[in-house]
Structure 1
């Protein structure tokens, strides 16, 4: 064997040895292999950002109106005040007061009436009683309810909200002889009222009082 051939065999053996070592150390890749990424560490905890309580004022009145400004001022004094729950309470009061008045039974509703309103109701009930008038009444439900006006006296905190109601009822007034003198005992009628409620904001007593009817 010539020296030249022997050198070629030795070099070939060294090349094979180096290739095998490189494969063992580096490994092999086939096709496209995306770069490895480190596993993400734990994410920082997200803290809730404090926000103002959501207001429902613009669900019931137009923005920029005196009513919206007054209701917003009420909410500044009492952040828990909301128009929706107020209207729910007003609706319940309307049904209870209207039914009690028509039936001549206002003792239970008197705490919800301002003195002038209670006196006016008492006068009507007394007049009916003196004339022997009796009332048959069935309340069918409140069909509409909406804020008509609102105001707030910043000096006293006295809040005033006028609410428009449309109720449906069956009512008839009979005289001492039993004859119908007002209403119809068989036909439902709609009753439209504008009632104004007042309350001093920021006080412990949550009850609104009826101060005017129209």
Structure 2
């Protein structure tokens, strides 16, 4: 058996001491540690008045109150020239619902447009029910049912929206109504039970022009707008 020399024994003792010190520092929680870095939430902030029962819902940022009346309408004035009927209508909606933002609304409406067009083509009643008013939903469902009775199917592909503009806005009682003119591109064809094309063209991109009106009750806690009227532009 070989004896350890003094130098070797010194380094062993030193290593043990250092290990115990590191364990005391790194092996305990103090309660002030930062949570692990999450790249999806690192730059996200939320303004809340208390704990939310729906933590998986991403809330749109709330508009901050301002004492300057004109600056409160600045984004509306960028959408419609001051003094016009459209500007007055948008301001009336803002007065009834301070969180209303025409740009945010327009972005949401364009998403809803695509969802509705594709849901109608697919006969997706569940999606349509969440996005349409009762009257519009009943009309869409009736058309879908008639199509199914004839064993017809719509083959549709949404290309995109070329242009979408707010053309009118107004308050009807407590309901806000905003009308859009939407120009989109769509590939669509209706096939019969034998698979033959009876309407449209499965190879051609067609330009579609629609005038759609969305509405919501400003007294409701539900922030969602629903399609309440449709019109095809000639």
Q: Give TM class, smaller chain.
A: 0.7 to 0.9
Runs of 4+ with deviation above 4 angstroms = 49-52
Quote how far apart the aligned CAs of 1:75 are. Answer: 1.1
Q: Does 1:204 align with 2:204?
A: no
Offset at residue 166 of structure 1 (A): 0.8
**2:131 maps to which residue?**
112
Return the alpha-carbon distance in structure 1 between the equivalents of residues 127 and 119 of structure 2.
Answer: 8
Decide whether the 8 Å contact of 2:166 with 2:179 is kept in 1: yes
Q: CA deviation at 1:149?
A: 1.1
Using the TM superposition, name which of 107-116 and 161-170 deviates more: 107-116
Q: Which residue of 2 aligns with 1:65?
A: 84
Higher relative contact order (CA 8 A, sep 6+): 1
Note the C-alpha offset of 1:100.
0.5
TM-score, normalized by length of structure 2?
A: 0.66
Query: Following TM superposition, by how much is the alpha carbon of 1:151 offset from its aligned partner in structure 2, in angstroms?
Result: 0.9
Q: Is 1:191–2:208 an aligned residue pair? A: yes
Q: Residue 110 of structure 2: which of 86, 91, 98 is its match?
A: 91
C-alpha contact 1:60 1:146 (8 A) present in aligned 2: no
Counterpart position of 1:160: 177
Deviation of 1:107 after TM superposition, in Å, equals: 1.1
The answer to which of 193-202 and 93-102 deviates more is 193-202
| Distance in 2 between residues matched to 1:182 and 1:90, nearest whole Å | 28
**Aligned CA-pair RMSD:** 1.6
Secondary structure of 1:59 counterpart = helix
Q: What is the TM-score of this pair, normalised by structure 1? A: 0.72
Shift of 1:54: 5.6
Contact kept, 8 Å, 1:144 with 1:167, in 2: the verdict is yes
In structure 2, distance between residues paired with 1:183 and 1:121: 19
* Aligned-pair CA distance for 1:50: 6.0
2:167 is the alignment partner of 1:143: no
| Gap change, CA 1:55 and 1:109, over 3 Å in 2 | farther
Q: Mean Cα displacement is larger for which, 57-66 or 140-149?
A: 57-66
